[in-house]
Chain A
Amino acid sequence: MKRFWGFVKKEFLHIFRDFRTMIIIFVIPAAEILLFGFVVSTDLKNARVAFLDLSGDEITRQLSEKICSSGFFRKSEDLLSFNDIDRELRKNKIKAVIVFEENFGSKLIGEGKAVMSIIADGSEPNMASLVTNYASAIVADFNNRLIQTSGSVNILVQPEVRMFYNPSLKSHFMFVPGVITIIMTLVCALMTSITITREKEFGTMEVLLVSPLKPIQIILGKVIPYFILSIADAILILILSWFVFGLPIKGSIILLLAELMLYILMSLSIGIMISTISKTMQQAIFIALVGMLLPTILLSGFIFPLENMPKGYDWFSALFPPRYFIVVIKNIMIKGTGFLYVWKETLILLFFTVTSIWLSIRNFKVRLQ
């Protein structure tokens, strides 16, 4: 055991002495959080909405048809009561719920005025504002036609917009989970794969393998410092986003930390896997950047919504773990949901972890060529 801790200490020395590593671990996360506090815009296509039609008359049918045939929205299902709204939104499948009040049609014709609500999922602020803007525009158009056809001036559907989970629609909330995911991927997968291949390149790996240290001790010794630093990093990001943007953690902090640890473990094992298949540092960096970091940025739904992707890309993105982790932390941090709502994603992450550990063990060549 003493042999082992000496080895871990050495790994910490490598990290603290290399200012580039220190920048990647501590400066980049802070910079990204601040930079990404400002939004990247997106556009809308086939967003799934659910309807709660308490009236169920001809006019509500027309209006919902108009919304769904616009190309911007797609009807996912009809809800039966107000209680369903929260549940459905938490499932993450739909972007908004549209509610028509009771006797919508008769009120519109009789009183010239009826109310509908557009309830959007504010935990994705970009998406939410897009959804509500587009839906409101469609309703306005509907109003115009109604006026033309009926000849009456005093006829009006009033859309009320409401946000769930993030009522003031602070957009940087959305970026915190994304940045955490990017940083964890960067620090864990990239840095571990670099640090292991570096030993190969320097020839020190050979000396270590000939030494009484067991291969598993070598790997653990290289990974433990990064595990500890990554957790410190995640906490740093959370604290920073709390102080700078006032982002609260709505769900359980323990659950959040547990999920973070799982994701860190997964990224580390992917890093080890990358190092077992690459011979040089350049190769490792290339694989980690193209194979991990790019999908994290482009395919995780962090910047570009998954619903806007062509079908093929959507499937392709399912192969990369960051997408699931983003859902998990978004749910826990912003919606405050419990484990019941993220167990599927957790299971998928666990699967990725086990698979990459298994592949690394299989690939770990004591023979270094």
Chain B
Amino acid sequence: MTDSTVISVTNLVKKFGSFTANDNLSFEVYEGEIFGFLGANGAGKTTALRILSGLLTPTSGEVIVAGYNAKKDPEKIKKSIGYMCQKFSLYPDLSARENIMLYGGIYGMPKVLIKKRTEELFEKLNFREYGNRMIAELPLGLKQKLAFSVAVFHEPKIVFLDEPTGGVDPITRRQFWEMIYETADRGITVFVTTHYMDEAEYCDRISIMNEGRIVALDTPEGLKKKYNAKSVEEVFVRIARPVNNQPHPPAPSHR
């Protein structure tokens, strides 16, 4: 892990009408880091993730991703990131090979390179026998791994994972995280949102969002020490739950 910054967010605000989804966020993510983005549903995680990936433009504040400004150059950001969403993002009626070919092509990779990397990938995943099968026929765990491999296939600087392990059994989740580690070791920054608190423990650093704000940001160890908790889950419950159970008050414009 080096100290060069790949994501830099300063005073980010995103409003939908009168509702403030992201209230003055500021944080940095470093190259090769696994950055966990936690928060209850509706805390503003997804909005922040969409701004970082160029899908939404911020209302105000500065967002720099992979060296590009999210307001001015969202198209350039799109070329340097990978994305995997909570829903399953491969086409079930195309084979593994065809899916890879499609996404590789969309990211402008030359055919020869796509073919070469496909072979390497299948070798690594022991996937060769499945290569020409339709995605719909594959077990969920394999699909998940493949979806992740496709998201980093074009060697992006950053890969965004939006709740990537939803509905997967613990063993597959474990294997999935091994892939994430390996990817981070290659220097690809991993930005992951998750519900699972045990997964948060695997991250290098985590941020916890509540009501549109970042209420905590540190290493899992650091947070546990600060809140005198045994696990990240305890930290999360202490910070996020009490407010979350009450009806939403109107979001203040500034604190």
List residues of chain A with CB under 8 Å of any chain B CB.
Answer: 2-3, 6-7, 10, 13-14, 17-18, 201-204, 206-214, 366-367
B134 CB to nearest A CB, Å: 8
Does any Cβ of A come within 8 Å of B94's Cβ? yes
- CB-CB under 8 A from A201, the residues of chain B are 87
Q: Which 3 A-B pairs have the closest CB atoms?
A: A203-B87, A6-B105, A210-B83
- Kindly identify which residue among A13, A14, A202, A366 contacts B87, using a CB–CB cutoff of 8 Å: A202
Q: Given A3, A6, A202, which contacts B89 in the complex, CB threshold below 8 Å?
A: A202
Cα A3 to Cα B75 with chains together (Å): 14
Q: Which residues of B contact A206 (CB under 8 A)?
A: 55, 83, 85, 87, 89
Q: Are A366 and B75 in contact (CB under 8 A)?
A: no
With A13-B94, A202-B88: A210-B55 Cβ-Cβ less than 8 Å: yes
Given contacts A17-B93, A206-B85, contact A212 B108 (CB under 8 A): yes
CA distance A353 to B102 in the complex (A): 31
> Is B81 within 8 A of A210, CB to CB?
yes
Contact A203 B98 (CB under 8 A): no
**CA–CA, A319 and B91, complex, Å:** 38
Q: Closest Cβ of chain A: how far from B237's Cβ, in Å?
A: 28
Q: Which residue of A lies closest to B93 (CB)?
A: A17
Bound: A201/B75 CA distance, A: 24
Residues of B172-215 whose CB lies within 8 A of A:
none
Q: Which of A6, A17, A18, A207 contacts B83 (CB 8 A)?
A: A207
> Distance in Å from the Cβ of A213 to the closest Cβ of chain B?
6
Chain A residues whose C-beta falls within 8 Å of the C-beta of B130 in the assembled complex: none
Given A7-B106, A202-B89, A207-B89, are A367 and B79 neighbors across the interface (CB < 8 Å)? Answer: no
* In the complex, residue of chain B having the shortest beta-carbon distance to the beta carbon of A369: B46
Query: Cβ of A210: which chain B residues have Cβ within 8 Å of it?
Result: 53-55, 78, 81, 83, 160
User: Which residue on chain A has the smallest CB distance to residue B110?
Assistant: A2
Interface size class of B (residues with CB under 8 A): 20 to 34
Bound complex: CA A201 to CA B86 (Å) = 12
Are A3 and B106 neighbours in the complex by a CB distance under 8 Å? Answer: yes
The reply to whether A13 and B93 contact each other, CB–CB distance below 8 Å, is: yes
Please, which residues of chain B bring their CB within 8 A of the CB of A13? 93-94, 98
Given contacts A2-B105, A6-B102, contact A212 B87 (CB under 8 A): no
| Across-interface contacts of A17 in B (CB, < 8 A) | 93-94
CA distance A218 to B88 in the complex (A): 19
B-chain residues with CB within 8 Å of residue A213 when the two chains form the complex = 106
Q: Look across to chain A and name the residue whose beta carbon is closest to the beta carbon of B98.
A: A13
A210 to B156, CA, bound (A): 13
Q: Tell me which residues across on chain A come within 8 A of B54, comparing CB atoms.
A: 210
Q: Is the CB of B85 within 8 A of A6?
A: no
Q: B239 to nearest A CB, angstroms?
A: 26
Q: How far is the CB of A16 from chain B (nearest CB, A)?
A: 10
CB proximity of B249 to chain A, nearest CB, Å = 22
CB-defined contacts of B151 to chain A, threshold 8 Å: 207
Asked if A18 and B93 sit within 8 Å, CB to CB, the answer is yes
Q: Which of A10, A18, A212, A214 contacts B98 (CB 8 A)?
A: A10
B106 near A211 (CB under 8 angstroms)?
A: yes
Are B56 and A366 in contact (CB-based, < 8 A)? yes
Q: In the bound complex, how far is the Cα of B89 from the Cα of A3, in angstroms?
A: 18
B52-81: CB near A (< 8 Å → 1, else 0) gives: 011110000000000000000001001101
**Least CB distance, B156 to chain A, in whole angstroms:** 10
Cβ contact within 8 Å between A6 and B101: yes
Instruction: Please measure, in the bound complex, the distance between the C-alpha atom of A31 and the C-alpha atom of B173, giving whole angstroms.
Output: 50
Bound-complex Cα distance A17 to B91 (A): 12
Closest to A10 in B: B102
CB of B92 within 8 Å of the partner chain: yes
With A3-B108, A206-B87, A212-B108 as given contacts, are A367 and B93 in contact (CB-CB < 8 Å)? Answer: no
In this complex, what residue of B is CB-closest to A213?
B106
Look across to chain A and name the residue whose beta carbon is closest to the beta carbon of B91. A204
- CB of A211 within 8 A of CB of B89, answer no
Q: How far is the CA of A211 from the CA of B105 in the complex (A)?
A: 11
Q: Which residues of B contact A208 (CB under 8 A)?
A: 106
Partner of A212, one of B75, B90, B94, B101: B75
